Amino acid sequence: MEQEKPTKKNNIKFWGVALLLGALLLFIVGGYPFVKQLALDTIGLEATGTVVGVAGADSIQTPMVEFTAADGKQYIFKSYYGSRNIRFAIGEEVQMRYLAVNPQIAEINLLGRINYPSNLGATCIGSFLLMGGLVALRNKPLVLDFSRRKG
């Protein structure tokens, strides 16, 4: 028995769905930290925190920081980023930012700003994949007409 070859339409739908899933993955991986850091840098409040623990293996360590928010309560957060080159000692004071509406959303200034380019890149690639996936899933073919018409 001979298997039928997939039709062109099914192949395009497959790639459209694959592009949309890739875009979703990149938005989660790069978009959330990018938007979070952007919010912290624009509307976040400055604070000084104390490193109370370090999680992770020897190669990449992620600091856990305790700080006092404007409401007077103590909060502990685990940094979203780990670093191989930047080490934090327990008891070390670090400059950080947090959101007043939800103090659990916080980040050490240095670690958040170092990761801006990679988060921005993942977000941009995700948006291009999203556009490609949406175009592939359209029912009509995409036609770009660059000819000049006199009217």
Q: Edge-to-edge, what's the strand order for the sheet holding 106-108?
A: 74-78, 61-68, 45-56, 93-98, 106-108
Q: What's the CA gap between 11 and 137, in Å, rounded?
A: 10
| CB atoms closer than 10 angstroms to residue 80 | 18
**pLDDT reading at 7 higher than 80:** no
User: Residue 44 class from Cβ within 10 Å (0-12 exposed, 13-18 middle, 19+ buried)?
Assistant: buried
| Residue 67 placed within a domain | yes
Tens of pLDDT, residue by residue over 54-87, are: 887 777 788 899 999 999 999 999 888 877 777 7
Cβ(97)–Cβ(72) under 8 Å? no
Top pLDDT among 42 and 57 is at 42
**pLDDT reading at 5 higher than 70:** no
How many residues are listed for the chain in this entry?
151
* Structure tokens, 38: 């952007």
| Residue 51 placed within a domain | yes
| Residue 142 placed within a domain | no
- Residue 120's domain spans which residues? 13-136
- Mean of the pLDDT values across residues 94-115? 85
**pLDDT reading at 3 higher than 60:** no
Which residues, at least 6 apart from 15, have a Cβ–Cβ distance to it below 8 Å? 133, 136
- Mean of the pLDDT values across residues 102-115? 81
pLDDT level of residue 52 (50, 70, 90 thresholds): very high
pLDDT level of residue 8 (50, 70, 90 thresholds): low
| Residue 119 placed within a domain | yes
What's the CA dihedral at 75, 80, 84, 87 to 10 degrees? -20
Q: What is the pLDDT of residue 20?
A: 80
Q: What is the pLDDT of residue 75?
A: 94
Based on the structure, what is the number of domains in the chain? 1
| Residue 145 placed within a domain | no
Cβ(61)–Cβ(87) under 8 Å? yes
